[in-house]
Amino acid sequence: MTAHDPNLSRRSLLKGAGALVIGLHLPLAARAQSGAASAFRPGGNATFAPNAFIRVAPDSTVTVLIKHIEFGQGPFTGLATLAAEEMDADWGQMRSEHAPADVKLYANLAFGAQGTGGSTAIANSWEQMRKAGAAARAMLVQAAAEAWKVPAAEIKVDAGVISHASGKQGRFGDFAEAASKLPVPENPQLKPASAYKLIGKEGAVKRLDSFDKARGRTQFTIDIHAPNMLTVVVARPPRFGGKVGSFDASNALKIKGVVDVKQIGSGVAVYATGMWPALKGREALKVTWDESEAEKRGSKELIAEYRKLAREPGLVAGAHGDAEAALAKADKVIEAEFIFPYLAHAPMEPLDGYLEWDGEKALARFGSQFQTTEHQTIATILGLPLEKVRLETMLAGGSFGRRAQVSQHLAAELAMAAKAIGPNRPVKVVWTREDDLTGGYYRPLFVHRLRGAVKDGKIIAWANHIVGQSFFLGTPFEAMVVKNGLDATMVEGANEIFYEVADFRCDVHSPKVGVPTLWWRSVGHTHTGYAVECFVDELLQAAGQDPLQGRLAMMGDKHPRAAAVLKAVGEMANWKGPGPVDGRARGVAVVESFDSFVAQIAEVSMGQDGEPRVHKVWCAVDCGVAVNPDIIRAQMEGGIGFGLGHALYGEITLDAGKPVQTNFDSYRSLRIHEMPEVEVRIMPSTEKPTGVGEPGVPPIGPAVANALAALGHGRPRQLPVKGGTV
């Protein structure tokens, strides 16, 4: 099969039959991240390390240690930009490496633990990384001043060159050693925004990771090889909550390349000399599963239960006035029920991890998103003190929330797999795409039941009953987000809305279901954004209002930033109402998430095949100070594609508890011919920077749905729009 087969996308499954691979490991370059390791190693090439983040080498390269995992959203570039700005470095001399796991040095200031999520990388590093850069600059300047015997105040730094009016000049590396002997200033002065040369400047900064990624040189976890290493795949229960009853490994062990089979906490682990024998070994395993405690309800049953619950009063998440009374008095109540499926994150690199230990100390290397807790989990399972376990964060092939594991299941599985085979046998645990899609930790299934009433062209009442699983209740993270039994991530974006409605209520039910669920790029906004922005559009339509002007009118002057992005996107698209014009209609939506405001307008037509075609998306974003405008644009483009693909095609369906979709042939993902043209405007701002990794996602679904309504197809009540194909 060639890659140029235009019909490749959803058919033609050519499975290679089973075979054996005998490990013939060629010696490989040991570490893609040896730079980071050496920066920490005494005798490494960095001679100036003024703080936990900045390393200056004699050749003047500046390596910034990045406390946030890079899996596409740009912290390697963004955090380096902040440091480089204050150092007055030349962008060409900047490098980035992951910081090691160390909560004392590298905590996310928004969490109090080392970890990435909630689109916080730039927001929590904004001051910290600039101060780190400013301190380094001050020390280099002081070192130069002492060497040249001139006042420090007379020294200039520009594009990595330190100079004095006398004609003396040098680079950072020339003063690195001298600077390293100086005291670190505690509160270095930061530049005024007017002096920025990199922050917010178009074209001033390019991603530090593009070059290698375009050449296949980036090392991900799956690429790790080590002498004597075993590849491990795990047979896990087909239903959530199932356990290993018994297993027979005799056939698996006959397969050449299979070294061992062990039961571990998550299932039955097959250890082999490579991926292919590991997969063959797993296929040959006979496992009897104990499903006595397994979740056996399917999506159909859960939806029926949730719909019933949505008709009973739930825990109040937000209320003012008396929505029920107002609805009871209304001439006409408009009702809409929206059903959202389970969704998989499906990062391109499935979950994986590498671990080596000798019984006394361990090294774990993987795409760790919550370093602090994963570090502890691995140490606990191996029975080692924390300081004997080193955790190196690897660049990861996407996450979208999947690697931010509340349950720690991957770190635990990795440690259990290493422990079960014993010391001095490095292991690399690899999940297949089937493992990934059937492995749970989904965006939870949700039902929103909304009722509203309009009078004299105004929305007067709004009631929203939300039903879905909480992935926080009953976990160690509960204290972070759950108050009075209410999981804030379930209702964010729905319990408070931009729109002024006299009588308002939002309540929630959190039924217990045995399907592991997790946050998924933009978390609660993945469903609340759709429900709220579709329903307000529907009510405005009933009230005879323009979708855009009507929203602005209901915002009043209370939401200036939301109103501003809405006005901006209207201007960009030259909004003249939803249409349709020449078969194309437009829908609008605006959502605040992670303290950023994003408005989008989608231009949509209906294809002859009955599939919506999204031609163009206009997007206005206010994320405070725009540190890297091009990365913000990229995140809006990517967020729109990610959100659109799932709104149109994405669903994990459970049939009697078992996931139906097992690979990209059935878990349909957006492809290039389905990607709209995207135009992004970044609002000028002096506010602190806020999130960009997630906020591009929520508005696209409702914007498309609202356009579909204008085309006469109604707003889809159940996602995905093209669902039920399996």
Q: Which of residues 324-383 bind other proteins (CB under 8 A)?
A: 346-350
Least CB distance to other proteins at residue 395 (A): 7
Q: Quick check: 20 binds other proteins (CB under 8 A)? A: yes
What is the torsion angle, in degrees rounded to the nearest 10, for the CA atoms of residue 625, residue 628, residue 634 and residue 637?
20
- Binding part of the chain for other proteins, among 25-33, 297-305, 457-465, 567-575 by CB under 8 A, reads 25-33
Q: Quick check: 34 binds other proteins (CB under 8 A)? A: no
CB of 43 or CB of 203, closer to other proteins: 203
Q: Quick check: 23 binds other proteins (CB under 8 A)? A: yes
- Pairwise CA distance, residues 490 & 561, whole Å: 24
CB of 578 or CB of 645, closer to other proteins: 645
How far, CA to CA in Å, does 590 sit from each of 245, 338, 524, 541?
50, 18, 15, 16
- Pairwise CA distance, residues 367 & 426, whole Å: 17
Look at the block and give the residue holding tokens 């001050």: 138
**DSSP symbols for 199-240:** TT-TTT---TTHHHHTTT-PPBGGG---TT-EEEEEE--SST
Least CB distance to other proteins at residue 643 (A): 9
Q: Quick check: 638 binds other proteins (CB under 8 A)? A: yes
Least CB distance to other proteins at residue 309 (A): 33
DSSP-derived letter for residue 521 is: T
Asked whether the CA dihedral 671, 672, 677, 680 is positive or negative, the reply is positive
Residues 6+ apart with CB under 8 A from 228: 424, 425, 426
Least CB distance to other proteins at residue 24 (A): 5
Q: Quick check: 5 binds other proteins (CB under 8 A)? A: yes
Least CB distance to other proteins at residue 42 (A): 30
Q: Quick check: 193 binds other proteins (CB under 8 A)? A: no
Q: Quick check: 645 binds other proteins (CB under 8 A)? A: yes
Least CB distance to other proteins at residue 5 (A): 7
CB of 430 or CB of 490, closer to other proteins: 430
- Pairwise CA distance, residues 659 & 442, whole Å: 11
Q: Quick check: 21 binds other proteins (CB under 8 A)? A: yes
Cβ–Cβ under 8 Å, residues 569 and 681 = yes
- Pairwise CA distance, residues 244 & 229, whole Å: 26
- Which of the residues 61 through 80 are near other proteins (CB under 8 A)? 71-74
Q: Quick check: 528 binds other proteins (CB under 8 A)? A: no
Q: Quick check: 165 binds other proteins (CB under 8 A)? A: no
Least CB distance to other proteins at residue 25 (A): 7
Residues 6+ apart with CB under 8 A from 82: 122, 125, 126, 129, 130, 133, 199, 627
Q: Quick check: 723 binds other proteins (CB under 8 A)? A: no
- Which of the residues 617 through 636 are near other proteins (CB under 8 A)? 630-631, 634
Of the candidates 6, 192, 610, 684, which one interacts with other proteins according to CB under 8 A?
6
Residues 6+ apart with CB under 8 A from 380: none
- Which of the residues 388 through 447 are near other proteins (CB under 8 A)? 395-400, 432-434
- Which of the residues 101 through 130 are near other proteins (CB under 8 A)? none
- Which of the residues 197 through 236 are near other proteins (CB under 8 A)? 206-207, 209-220, 222-223, 225, 231
What is the torsion angle, in degrees rounded to the nearest 10, for the CA atoms of residue 130, residue 132, residue 135 and residue 136?
-110
DSSP-derived letter for residue 645 is: H
Q: Quick check: 598 binds other proteins (CB under 8 A)? A: no
- Which of the residues 541 through 570 are near other proteins (CB under 8 A)? none
- Which of the residues 253 through 292 are near other proteins (CB under 8 A)? 273-276
Q: Quick check: 665 binds other proteins (CB under 8 A)? A: yes
DSSP-derived letter for residue 538 is: H
Least CB distance to other proteins at residue 521 (A): 10
Cβ–Cβ under 8 Å, residues 470 and 443 = no
- Pairwise CA distance, residues 142 & 389, whole Å: 38
Pairing of strands 352-357, 362-366: antiparallel
Q: Quick check: 642 binds other proteins (CB under 8 A)? A: yes
CB of 80 or CB of 532, closer to other proteins: 80
- What are the φ/ψ torsions at residue 510 (nearest 5 degrees)? -120, 75
CB of 74 or CB of 115, closer to other proteins: 74
* Per-residue tokens: 707: 């356009």
Of the candidates 447, 640, 692, 705, which one interacts with other proteins according to CB under 8 A?
640
Q: Quick check: 475 binds other proteins (CB under 8 A)? A: no
Least CB distance to other proteins at residue 71 (A): 5
- Binding part of the chain for other proteins, among 7-15, 462-470, 538-546, 707-715 by CB under 8 A, reads 7-15
Q: Quick check: 91 binds other proteins (CB under 8 A)? A: no
Please count the residues of this chain forming the interface with other proteins, following the rule CB under 8 A.
88
How far, CA to CA in Å, does 618 sit from each of 574, 587, 605, 676, 721?
10, 11, 16, 10, 21
